[in-house]
Chains A and B, each alone.
Chain A
Amino acid sequence: MDHIPITQGDEIAIEKARRGDPEAFRVLVERHARPVFRLAFRMTGNEVDAEDMVQETFLKAWKQIARFDGRAAFGTWLHRICANCSLDHIRARKRKQDLQTGNDPLPQLATGAPSPERLALSSQVTAILGPALDELSEMERAAFVLRHYEGLSIEQISASLGVQPGAAKHSVFRAVQKLRRALEPVMSMR
């Protein structure tokens, strides 16, 4: 079952957290941790790293909450922080992997698929997409995840990741081209 947060704006909790109330910040953690986890999982490709990124994201948010100006929604702000934490993380991970023999993380199956057919397709896609995403450059992966799964525009991706719009756009292009090649076997069977 999806978590249904108790409905109340974030404003009161943000204001209290700004004044130094950790319990108010805890409310924000409880409300936003799952969406942040979903982004972190797509960026990092595994649950352990994703949970670390959630911690990292809230650590930064905690330290910087006084700088949150409210122009974007709090969730959007957190996602931006998470995207950057995850980008740094996968860069570091790639560097480490380059130094070692390639031990790609095993692709993880998502739980809760509604039907055997859907589960089979999802497993197939996951088995191919996970490693294919690992083959993308860090920027390509980040740009694709933000564009495709988070629905950010190229302009917003460029602002979030601190790159030129042209670079963000070409990262999305390259990611899509590579993923299309990777998913060809699945497409041909459909």
Chain B
Amino acid sequence: MKHLSEEDLILIYYGEPGAPYGAHAHLADCGQCKAAADALAQTLDLCNEWSVPEPDAGFERRVWKYRPSRWSMPRVWIGLAAAAAVLIAVFLLGRQSSAPQTASEFNSAMAGLSNQARERILEISLADHLNRAEMLLTEISNAGDPGLLNFTVERGRAQDLVEEGRLMRQTLARQGDNPTLTFLDEVERFLIEVANSSDSVSPNVLRELQQRIGSGSLLFKVKIIESNLRTRGQKL
């Protein structure tokens, strides 16, 4: 058999098909080809030394944060986006006293909406908020025990949810919806705990968080109340 070409050796190195029949047997017997294969392997192994810089801790949040200016929504979501815009306006109502300029924008945006429509929007947006909280709680509940857990992303999501929930609670307080308000307070206490945890949590801290979710049936309640709000909102 002829000696193996460099191309044959590259295919063999990467475990690709296409090397000539008997190439592996030849490689085992032929000192010259074996030396060539070793030299190739050394060079290609050396390429593994080219490591990649690790992005900083805020990388994922940055990718997400800067999306609105560049990411446009798929057409099917435009209806949802319109609803979301109205939702934002609803929550800005809760800030009317501190942000009159925004409130005036709100007033013109909401001028044509009936009380029923406003209520519907509020129910659905609360359900969406709880859905996002549910996702976070579910992920924390299902997290394994891999030593120190990087919690940066989860902390960021919890912070966002706390801010979002605060606006909703203000609106609910104005409406006097105490049962939902009390429940949102309970969710917020847990979210604040997550938001205030360190970037790396130990298995013990993780277990404590999981126990908190489990002991008060928090996740279960989030699911039930989310579902009730959504159903109510859709019926309005």
Within 8 A of A (CB), among B1-29: 6-7, 10, 14, 16, 18
Asked whether, in the complex, the Cβ of B64 is within 8 Å of the Cβ of A29, the reply is yes
Task: Check: B63 CB closer than 8 A to any chain A CB.
Answer: yes
> In the bound complex, do residue A62 and residue B49 qualify as a contact, i.e. CB atoms below 8 Å apart?
no
**C-alpha gap A30/B71 in the complex (Å):** 16
Cβ–Cβ contact A30 & B153, under 8 A: yes
Does B31 have its Cβ within 8 Å of any Cβ on chain A?
no
Question: Taking the nearest CB of chain A, how far is it from the CB of B166, in angstroms?
Answer: 17
Q: Give the interface segment out of B73-81, B112-120, B183-191, B222-230.
A: B73-81
User: Are A34 and B59 CB-contacts (below 8 A) given A110-B51, A122-B50?
Assistant: yes
Which chain A residues numbered 141 to 190 have a C-beta less than 8 Å away from chain B? 147-148, 153-154, 169, 172-173, 176-177, 179-180, 183, 186-187, 190
Within 8 A of A (CB), among B148-162: 148-150, 152-154, 157
Q: Which residues of B contact A122 (CB under 8 A)?
A: 49-51
Shortest distance in angstroms between A161's beta carbon and chain B's nearest beta carbon?
16
| Smallest CB gap from A109: residue in B | B53
- B59 nearest in chain A by CB position: A33
With A8-B138, A154-B16, A172-B10 already in contact, the answer to whether A30 and B60 are too (CB < 8 A) is yes
CA distance A187 to B47 in the complex (A): 11
Give the interface SS of chain A, mostly helix, strand, loop or mixed.
Answer: helix
Closest to A4 in B: B146
What number of B residues sit within 8 Å (CB to CB) of A? Answer: 53
Whether the pair B59, A180 counts as a contact (CB closer than 8 A) is no
Interface membership of A108, Cβ < 8 A: yes
Q: Is B60 a contact partner of A33 (Cβ separation < 8 A)?
A: yes
Which of A27, A29, A126, A183 is B43 in contact with, Cβ under 8 Å? Answer: A183
Question: Shortest CB–CB separation between residue B60 and chain A, in angstroms?
Answer: 5
Q: How many Å from the CB of B9 to the closest CB on chain A?
A: 9
Do A63 and B59 touch across chains, with their CB atoms under 8 A apart?
no
B67 within 8 A of A: yes
> Which among B55, B70, B80, B144 has the highest number of chain A CB atoms within 10 Å?
B55
Question: A12 to nearest B CB, angstroms?
Answer: 8
**B147 to chain A: which residues have CB within 8 Å?**
4
Which A residue's beta carbon lies closest to that of B7? A173
B-side interface residues toward A, CB under 8 Å?
Answer: 6-7, 10, 14, 16, 18, 39-40, 42-44, 46-47, 49-55, 59-60, 62-64, 66-67, 70-72, 74, 76-77, 80, 131-132, 135, 138-140, 142-144, 146-150, 152-154, 157, 200
A residues contacting B by CB (< 8 A) are 1-4, 6-8, 12-13, 16, 20-21, 23-24, 26-27, 29-30, 33-34, 37-38, 41-42, 47, 51, 54-55, 58-59, 62-63, 65-66, 108-113, 118, 121-122, 125-126, 129-130, 147-148, 153-154, 169, 172-173, 176-177, 179-180, 183, 186-187, 190
Q: List 12 A-B contacts (CB under 8 A).
A: A4-B150, A6-B139, A13-B135, A20-B74, A42-B50, A58-B63, A122-B50, A153-B16, A169-B16, A176-B6, A177-B6, A180-B43
Q: A147-B14, A176-B6 are in contact. List 12 more A-B contacts (CB 8 A).
A: A4-B147, A23-B135, A33-B63, A37-B59, A109-B53, A110-B51, A113-B51, A126-B50, A176-B44, A179-B43, A180-B43, A190-B42
